[in-house]
């Protein structure tokens, strides 16, 4: 079952490039000895990955992706980097770009570029979808701060939903740095999220602040660039989108995963936690065991930590004391040696989930004996929980305070948005926050 990736805007294209790079490296670039699986199983894995993410065209492996941006520089850079890696390429015909950007203006991306370009972009998506034997769904990569990724991304998601009502759509959104990359990022974020909530099946949130912390504290990178951050994001995405099997041997197709993770349409926000993360040099010297990894991961979930350092062990699963992080559903992905021996019962604890959900159904675990990306054991947790609430609250606070002073609003109205649209978006997100708070 194939997944078509849509890379929207500068961020979407840059993250997408690293995502495919990570998959290609993990799949094609690992020696058989390190993989921990027999040759036949490895070959089966490679075939699965190829079917899922790549198509064989004109003798080379092309990513199943459509690249969209309003200006040509980023797409050109991403394509060149892919070619340079030698492992895969992007299809030059599956790219759409214009000359002029969206100017960080959501209204410009959504209303102006949306109506102008949607036909051509949908044609490209249709072509890519037809290449798949069986289409599972769409994976859209976009940022929340800019104009193209957020505005045009939201518009295209709506169009895709209309064209392909039976496919699954997951949107990966990049949350900008708290102290700002773009001044109107809070407006753009609020407008995008409220629109995505209508048309997407799941919204996977990745925060730049947290990824940067991982780079500096765990990977020991001194001068962190955006491509370092994107590598971390690519690693996390690949760790759960690469093939794996559940206990009853069903494969982790997008639909299966989303059906489990999003049981209720009002709760669509997902976050990822992956361990371990360490710099190249340290990997050879560490010997970590599954019980340790599971324990850390559980506490990361409960205490809402994004990485394995600085976890607050004081937060416990009890109704008195510090409030802990409640979840709707969790999916655990275990890869590497001895995955069958892992005890995951800590994730099945009923106190983690609301009382109106049966706790046995709340955890899905997927395993693969094959090691992932040089880590001999790695675990990834995708959860539908209260984790994004703090950042979401923060963003709405700032956006609301700007809105009450009517700052920058004239720039959005210039392109056709109305003040009611703003209010609708605020109302939608306040509802989302309330739903999650009441878990």
Partner 1 sequence: MTQSIVVQVGQCGNQIGFRFWDLALREHSSLNKTGLYDDAVSSFFRNVDTRYSDPADIPVGHGLGKIKDLKARAVLIDMEEGVVNEIMKGPLRGVFDYKQLITDVSGAGNNWAIGHKMYGAKYKEEISETIRRAAELCDCLQCFFVIHSMGGGTGSGLGSFVLNLLHEEYPDIYRFVMAVYPSHEDDVITSPYNSVLAMRQLTDNADCVLPVENQCENIHGKTQIFGEMQALVDIVNKINQANPKLAERKSSRGHVKAGSAISTGDGGIVKGKDEKPFDSMNNIAANVLLNMTSSARFEGSLNVDLNEITMNLVPFPKMHYLVTSQTPLYSVSDVHIPPRRLDQMFSDAFSKDHQLIKADPKHSLYLACALMVRGKVEVSDIRRNIERLQSSLKFIHWNRDGWKTGLCNVAPVGQPYSLLTIANNTCVHHTFSGLRDRFVKLYKRKAHIHHYTHVDNMEIEDFSESLESLTSVIKEYETLEKQINNPAPSLPRLQVI
Q: Which is nearer to partner 1, 344 or 402 (CB)?
A: 402
Q: Kindly tell me which residue out of 178, 259, 349, 376 binds partner 1, with binding defined by CB under 8 A.
A: 178
Q: Kindly tell me which residue out of 34, 73, 127, 351 binds partner 1, with binding defined by CB under 8 A.
A: 73
Strands 65-69 and 168-175: unpaired
Q: Kindly tell me which residue out of 2, 13, 14, 271 binds partner 1, with binding defined by CB under 8 A.
A: 14
| Per-residue x/- track, 196-235, partner 1 (CB under 8 A) | ----------------x---x------xxxxx-x------
Q: Does 92 bind partner 1 (CB under 8 A)?
A: no
Cα–Cα distance list, 85 to 22, 28, 79, 81, 130 (Å): 11, 11, 10, 6, 27
Q: Does 103 bind partner 1 (CB under 8 A)?
A: yes
Question: CA-CA distance, 24 to 30, in Å (whole number)?
Answer: 10
3-state helix, strand, coil in the chain (%, to 5): 50, 20, 30
Q: Kindly tell me which residue out of 56, 57, 116, 183 binds partner 1, with binding defined by CB under 8 A.
A: 183
In the block, which residue shows the tokens 């015909």?
A: 93
Contact 132, 438 (CB under 8 A): no
Q: Which is nearer to partner 1, 106 or 353 (CB)?
A: 106
Contacting range for partner 1; rule: CB under 8 A; set: 25-33, 259-267, 290-298, 404-412: 404-412
> Degrees (nearest 5) of the Cα angle 116, 70, 11?
130
Q: Does 411 bind partner 1 (CB under 8 A)?
A: yes
Neighbouring CB atoms inside 10 A of 55's CB total 17
DSSP 314-377: T--SSSSSS----EEEEEEEEEETTGGG---GGGG-GGGS-TTS-GGGGEEEEEESS-BTTBSE
Q: Does 416 bind partner 1 (CB under 8 A)?
A: no
Strand order in the sheet with 202-207: 95-97, 65-69, 2-8, 135-143, 168-175, 202-207, 269-275, 377-385, 327-336, 363-368, 245-246
CB of 414 to partner 1, least distance (A): 9
Q: Kindly tell me which residue out of 84, 99, 134, 166 binds partner 1, with binding defined by CB under 8 A.
A: 99
Q: Kindly tell me which residue out of 1, 50, 131, 177 binds partner 1, with binding defined by CB under 8 A.
A: 177
Q: Does 81 bind partner 1 (CB under 8 A)?
A: no
Q: Does 147 bind partner 1 (CB under 8 A)?
A: yes
Q: Does 118 bind partner 1 (CB under 8 A)?
A: no
Task: Supply φ then ψ for residue 311, to 5 degrees.
Answer: -75, 140
Q: Which is nearer to partner 1, 114 or 336 (CB)?
A: 114
Q: Which is nearer to partner 1, 258 or 399 (CB)?
A: 399
Q: Does 134 bind partner 1 (CB under 8 A)?
A: no
Question: CA-CA distance, 173 to 153, in Å (whole number)?
Answer: 10
CB of 9 to partner 1, least distance (A): 11
Show Cβ contacts of residue 86 under 8 Å, excluding neighbours closer than 6 positions. Answer: none
Q: Does 149 bind partner 1 (CB under 8 A)?
A: no
Token pair recorded at residue 4: 């078509």
Q: Which residues bind partner 1 (CB under 8 A)?
A: 10, 14, 71-74, 77, 99-105, 147, 177-184, 212, 216, 223-227, 229, 396-398, 400-402, 404-408, 410-411, 423, 426-427, 430-431, 434
């Amino acid at each position: 079952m194939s997944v078509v990736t849509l890379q929207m805007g500068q961020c979407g294209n840059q993250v997408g490039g690293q995502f495919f790079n990570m998959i290609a490296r993990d799949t094609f670039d690992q020696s058989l000895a390190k993989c921990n699986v027999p040759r036949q199983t490895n070959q089966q894995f490679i075939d699965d990955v190829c079917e899922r993410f790549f198509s064989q065209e004109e003798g080379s492996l092309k990513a199943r992706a459509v690249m969209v941006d309003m200006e040509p520089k980023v797409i050109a850079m991403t394509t060149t980097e892919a070619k340079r890696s030698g492992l895969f390429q992007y299809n030059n015909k599956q790219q759409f770009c214009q000359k002029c950007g969206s100017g960080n203006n959501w209204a410009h991306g959504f209303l102006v570029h949306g109506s102008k370009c949607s036909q051509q972009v949908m044609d490209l998506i249709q072509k890519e979808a037809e290449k798949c034997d069986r289409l599972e769904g769409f994976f859209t990569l976009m940022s929340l701060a800019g104009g193209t990724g957020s505005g045009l991304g939201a518009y295209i998601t709506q169009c895709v939903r209309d064209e392909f009502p039976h496919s699954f759509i997951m949107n990966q959104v990049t949350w900008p740095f708290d102290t700002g990359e773009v001044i109107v990022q809070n407006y753009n974020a609020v407008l995008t999220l409220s629109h995505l909530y209508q048309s997407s099946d799941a919204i996977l949130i990745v925060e730049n602040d947290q990824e940067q912390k991982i780079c500096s504290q765990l990977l020991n990178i001194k001068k962190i660039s955006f491509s370092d951050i994107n590598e971390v994001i690519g690693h996390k995405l690949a760790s759960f989108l690469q093939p794996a099997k559940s206990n009853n041997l069903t494969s982790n197709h997008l639909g299966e995963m989303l059906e489990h993770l999003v049981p209720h349409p009002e709760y669509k926000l997902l976050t990822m936690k992956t361990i371990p993360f360490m710099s190249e040099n340290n990997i050879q010297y560490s010997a970590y065991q599954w019980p340790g990894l599971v324990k850390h991961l559980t506490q990361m979930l409960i205490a809402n930590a994004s990485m394995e350092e600085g976890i607050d062990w004081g937060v416990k699963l009890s109704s008195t004391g510090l409030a802990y992080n409640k979840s709707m559903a969790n999916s655990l992905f275990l890869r590497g040696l001895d995955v069958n021996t892992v005890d995951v019962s800590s994730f099945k604890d009923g106190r983690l989930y609301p009382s109106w959900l049966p706790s046995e159904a709340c955890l899905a675990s997927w395993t693969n004996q094959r090691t992932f990306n040089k880590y001999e054991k790695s675990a990834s947790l995708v959860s539908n929980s209260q984790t994004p609430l703090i950042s979401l609250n923060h963003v709405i606070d700032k956006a609301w305070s700007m809105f009450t002073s009517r700052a920058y609003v004239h720039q959005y109205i210039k392109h056709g948005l109305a003040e009611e649209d703003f209010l609708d978006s605020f109302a939608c997100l306040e509802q989302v926050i309330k739903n999650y708070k009441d878990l």
